[in-house]
Structure 1
Amino acid sequence: MKQILLHARLFDGNQFHAGKAVTLDEGLIDAIVDQHGSVGGYELHDLTGLVLAPGFVDTQVNGGGGVMLDGETSLEGLETITDAHRCFGTTTMLPTLISDQWPAMQHVSDLIKQAHRHWGENSSLAAIKGVHFEGPYLNTARKGVHLGSNIRPVDEGALDLLSHPDLGVRLITVAPEKVGPAFVRDLTKRGALVSAGHTAGSYQDIALALRNGLRGFTHLYNAMSPLGSREPGVVGAALDDEASWCGMIVDGFHVHPASMRLAIKSKPRGKIFLVTDAMASVGAKDKSFMLNDQTIQAKDGKCQLNDSTLAGSDLDMIGAVRNVVELLGLPLSEALRMASSYPAAFMRMDTSLGSVAPGFVADLVAFDPVGWRVKHTWINGYHRAH
């Protein structure tokens, strides 16, 4: 049945509208219409008091609902992760595998291919548009919570596994100084998105990688060489380059608000987007979980090891949107773009995601702008109340 979404304050990805309704049909946005008139033949959703916006897009989701993505995750476990994040407005995600051994990488590759067979169903698995391999081809000098013994030179067969087209969107985080420009170039030629992260590279290392297709930077500022007066480092290269994108964890712990504001001012508009880097604790009752035989505790919104090392985040996307507004002082419209249209552009999916417009996929979120609570989501037009 066709659906009509009424009485919301509509943000279409560009601007806010009052007095408009949105109609959905066959998993797509059909039209934006005036609210008055007949609504016969439609399943009606009254969204009084809510903001209706494009669904959130998160390119870095390590886990959720008590489950981490790893070499033992089942399809049901993957759905638990997507369900957990859907409750916070995420309608598109890239499940993210933290540096692991080759069998785990193969398992996750097979798992994502299985998930894509459920894309058209009324399942949160439809949120999965690809996969993010964060490592293992990183620099141990900037490994963060990644297990050092898993970080290694490029495996034989890695190019084929990481760039397989059946995975959908393929995002690969590497340390460019460790893998070399040819690997970046080869992944790019095969359609993968290559991002720099967990890297101790120099400005020159990154400049070379950018010339060979490097598209972005994974969690800007974190686990990368900092900006200095004589050596701009990875951060300096990221901020200096106008064409690349940067994901940023806006939780108030990973990066100081002033540093985040400086980055947003430095890059062209649209080139910085929100990521959660979320761990199993998001959407879970138990805020303690295991990673590589280490206990991680989420407390007061922060995930950390016993030695206080940050270990991913307990951030969700509606929380990140709130923080952009309340912590960084940016307008809600820009916060919503950072959560939807900007990451969709990074993923090369901005012709179908990130806007409320006729012909776009009906991936939507409706939330309370006062309490920052997600009340409804639609994925491929399938509705769920929260």
Structure 2
Amino acid sequence: MTQSLSGKAVTGARIFDGHAWHEGKALLVGQDGHIEAIVAEADIPPALDRVALSGGLLVPGFVDLQVNGGGGVLLNEQPTREGIAAICRAHAKFGTTALLPTLITDRPELTVRAIAAGTEATRAGVPGFLGLHIEGPHISLARKGVHEPSHIRPMQAEDFDRLVAAVSAMPVVMTTLAPEVVPPETITRLSAAGVVVSLGHSDAGCDTARQGAEAGARLVTHLFNAMSGLGHREPGMVGNALDCGALHVGLIADGFHVDPVAIGIALRAKRGPGHIFLVTDAMSPTGTDMTSFRLNGREIFRRDGRLTLADGTLAGADIDMLSSVTFMHRRIGLPLSEALRMASLYPARAVGQDRRIGHLQPGAEASMLHLGDDLALRSVWIRGTELEPSGH
């Protein structure tokens, strides 16, 4: 049976609060589904009911800022509240408790429909819905990736107004754009209005990319992919992403989009206070046995852990966030605590939501996971309410 943690003390697991580990402690959850304290078990208030976990780890729920689809649903194909809810449900099964459904470059009317759906999802309190990521269409044709070239275009006044109006309708509105396509003054105006601007799908040189960051862009979309590379005379988008401390940088950790050697180099090179964080860039097959699907009328194939067009172009990723964390810990060799931060605290911080999600300190939502010592997922809670049956 599922259970609510509201007004209860959770015991029996090592607790990672997003910053440090706690042994032999209890997590206290208030009636409002927010964390009140982490205390010694001897200090649990007598009036509180206890939820005893059988060992394992209690960690922050994952935050994914780039989720094109899941559970058989692609946002571009089903831009509705129901579509958003299905995507959120699919990724909750892999530990993601907050996400940005992502609309890939499409017709203007699809953006209108996606924003309307996001507005409805916010009003309905869809569990796990954090806002929208509008990826394109104001990007570079030279670095389009899987984006349909016929829909790529400059930003018009109505595009700007549409994004800004959405800011008041949902917690996060994020857009990926190319700084050589959208001028710095427009980036400044978007940022000032509350739109989270990410640089990506860009062939810009390092100086142009830096101007975009100085104008107000805060993130970089899927490092190394669909961007100008790091050269010794022209550092490109990659060079700016790693050198600019203010930028938070997304990374797809599936072993296909970025080679493990390049991941290690990037982690060592990234200047702070911004961090590299994990995104899945997941498509509709996540959580299903689908072998193909369609995007903008083109068939995309699922084979050997990859999603590709017929010509081999990567088309999103066939990975979930828990697998990404496991990859970073076991394959790249990061301490588990840092791999967990890359999937929770760092992305929450990147979009200014780290007061309420991404960690388990007092005041945060009790959105968290119970993992086994082997990192197998046992339970998922969003704001103190369990979404999946307990496995303990």
Q: Same fold (TM over 0.5)?
A: yes
Residue number in structure 2 paired with 1:227: 230
Opposite residue 178 of structure 2, the aligned amino acid is: A
d(CA) in 2 for partners of 1:163, 1:171: 10
More displaced 10-residue stretch of structure 1: 230-239 or 60-69: 230-239
Q: Is the 8 A contact 1:30 1:358 kept in 2?
A: yes
Residue number in structure 1 paired with 2:214: 211
Residue number in structure 1 paired with 2:29: 24
Structure 1 residue 41 displacement after superposition = 5.2
Q: Which secondary structure does the structure 2 equivalent of 1:104 belong to?
A: helix
Distance 1:323 1:93, change over 3 A: same
Aligned residue pairs: how many? 380
Would you say 1:342 and 2:346 are equivalent positions?
yes
d(CA) in 2 for partners of 1:376, 1:44: 16
For residues 216-240 of structure 1, what are the alpha-carbon distances to aligned partners after superposition, in whole Å with 9 as ceiling and x for unaligned?
A: 1100000000011111111111111
Q: Is the 8 A contact 2:9 2:44 kept in 1?
A: no
Residue number in structure 1 paired with 2:54: 48
Note the 1:149-298 alignment, pairs <5 A. Answer: 149-164=150-165, 165-268=168-271, 271-298=275-302
Structure 1 residue 373 displacement after superposition = 2.3
Q: Which secondary structure does the structure 1 equivalent of 2:342 belong to?
A: helix
Match of 2:368 among 359, 364, 371: 364
Would you say 1:84 and 2:90 are equivalent positions?
yes
For residues 100-132 of structure 1, what are the alpha-carbon distances to aligned partners after superposition, in whole Å with 9 as ceiling and x for unaligned?
A: 11100000000000001122xxxxx23112110
Q: Is the 8 A contact 2:60 2:368 kept in 1?
A: yes
Opposite residue 242 of structure 1, the aligned amino acid is: G
Residue number in structure 1 paired with 2:73: 67
Opposite residue 279 of structure 1, the aligned amino acid is: M
Q: Is the 8 A contact 1:88 1:373 kept in 2?
A: no
Match of 1:14 among 8, 19, 26: 19
Q: Is the 8 A contact 1:99 1:146 kept in 2?
A: yes
Q: Which secondary structure does the structure 2 equivalent of 1:158 belong to?
A: helix
d(CA) in 2 for partners of 1:384, 1:39: 26
Q: Which secondary structure does the structure 1 equivalent of 2:146 belong to?
A: coil
More displaced 10-residue stretch of structure 1: 301-310 or 76-85: 301-310
Distance 1:210 1:37, change over 3 A: closer
d(CA) in 2 for partners of 1:101, 1:78: 19
More displaced 10-residue stretch of structure 1: 329-338 or 355-364: 355-364
Q: Is the 8 A contact 2:369 2:379 kept in 1?
A: yes
More displaced 10-residue stretch of structure 1: 36-45 or 132-141: 36-45
Distance 1:43 1:137, change over 3 A: farther
Residue number in structure 1 paired with 2:99: 93
Question: Where does the alignment leave 5 or more consecutive residues of structure 2 unmatched?
Answer: 1-5
Structure 1 residue 68 displacement after superposition = 0.3
Residue number in structure 2 paired with 1:122: none
For residues 21-51 of structure 1, what are the alpha-carbon distances to aligned partners after superposition, in whole Å with 9 as ceiling and x for unaligned?
A: 1121211012212224777654543322321
Residue number in structure 2 paired with 1:129: 130
| TM-score, normalised by the number of residues in structure 2 | 0.93
Distance 1:51 1:175, change over 3 A: same
For residues 146-194 of structure 1, what are the alpha-carbon distances to aligned partners after superposition, in whole Å with 9 as ceiling and x for unaligned?
A: 0001111113311121122213211110011011112211101101111
Q: Share of identical aligned residues, percent?
A: 42
Structure 1 residue 73 displacement after superposition = 2.8
More displaced 10-residue stretch of structure 1: 171-180 or 289-298: 289-298
Q: Is the 8 A contact 1:71 1:105 kept in 2?
A: no
| TM-score, normalised by the number of residues in structure 1 | 0.95
d(CA) in 1 for partners of 2:310, 2:46: 59
More displaced 10-residue stretch of structure 1: 356-365 or 43-52: 43-52
Distance 1:14 1:359, change over 3 A: same
Q: Is the 8 A contact 1:51 1:366 kept in 2?
A: yes
Q: Which secondary structure does the structure 2 equivalent of 1:163 belong to?
A: helix
Q: Which secondary structure does the structure 2 equivalent of 1:126 belong to?
A: coil
Match of 2:108 among 102, 107, 120: 102
